[in-house]
Amino acid sequence: MANIMYWEAIQRAHDEEMARDPLVICMGEDIGVAGGTYKATKGLYEKYGPLRVMDTPISEGGFTGLGIGASFLGVRPVIEIMSVNFAWLAMDQMFNSAAKVRYMSGGQLTAPCVFRSAGGAAHQLGAQHSARMEKVFMGIAGLRVVTPSNPKQAYGLLKSAIRCDDPVFINEHELMYNMKGEVPDGEYFHPLEGSDVARAGTDVTLFGYNVSVHWCLKAAEILDKQYGISAEVVDLYSLSPLDRAGIKASVSKTHRAVIAEEDEAPVGVGSEVIAIINEECFFELDAAPVRVHSALVPQPYNHTLEKAAIPDHEDVVKAVLKLFGKA
Partner 1 sequence: MKIEDKKRVLREMVLHRRFEERCYQAYIERKIGGFLHLYPGQEACCNGVMEAARPGHDYVITGYRDHVHAIKCGADPKEVMAELYGKETGSSKGRGGSMHIFDAAHHFMGGYALVGGPFPLAAGIAKAIQLKGGDEIAICFLGDAANNQGVFHETLNMAALWKLPVLFVCENNLYGIGTSIERSTAVVHQHKRVAAYNIPADECDGQDIDIVYEHARKAVDHVRAGNGPFFLELMTYRYRGHSMSDSRGYRSREEEEVWKQRDPILMLRDRLITAGALTMAEFETLEKETDAYIENEVVKFSEESPEPRVEDLEKYVFAERETQLPWLTGKAA
Residues contributing to the site for ligand TPP (CB under 6 A): 29, 58, 60, 82, 86, 89
Give the integer Cα–Cα distance in Å for 216 and 225: 14
Residue 300 binds partner 1 (CB under 8 A): yes
Clarify whether 60 is annotated catalytic. Answer: yes
What is the distance in angstroms between the CA of the first residue and the CA of the last residue of the chain?
Answer: 42
Query: What letter would DSSP give residue 149?
Result: S
Of 171, 172, 97, nearest to 136 by C-alpha is: 171
How many CB atoms sit inside 10 A of residue 27's CB? 22
Considering only 51-59, 96-104, 212-220, 263-271, which stretch makes contact with partner 1 by CB under 8 A? 51-59
Residue 267 binds partner 1 (CB under 8 A): no
Q: How far is the CB of 6 from ligand TPP (least distance, A)?
A: 21
Contacts of 97 (CB under 8 A, 6+ apart): 65, 68, 69, 111
Q: What is the 3-state secondary structure (H, E, C) of 169-195?
A: EEEEECCCCCCEEEECCCCCCCCCCCC
Q: How far is the CB of 120 from partner 1 (least distance, A)?
A: 14
Q: Which of 8, 29, 60, 306 is an active site residue?
A: 60
Contact string 171-210 vs partner 1 (x = CB under 8 A): ----------------------------------------
Considering only 28-36, 67-75, 230-238, 284-292, which stretch makes contact with partner 1 by CB under 8 A? 28-36
Clarify whether 313 is annotated catalytic. Answer: no
How many CB atoms sit inside 10 A of residue 327's CB? 11
Which residues sit at the interface with partner 1, rule CB under 8 A? 29-30, 33-34, 55-62, 85-86, 88-89, 123-129, 295-298, 300-305, 308-309
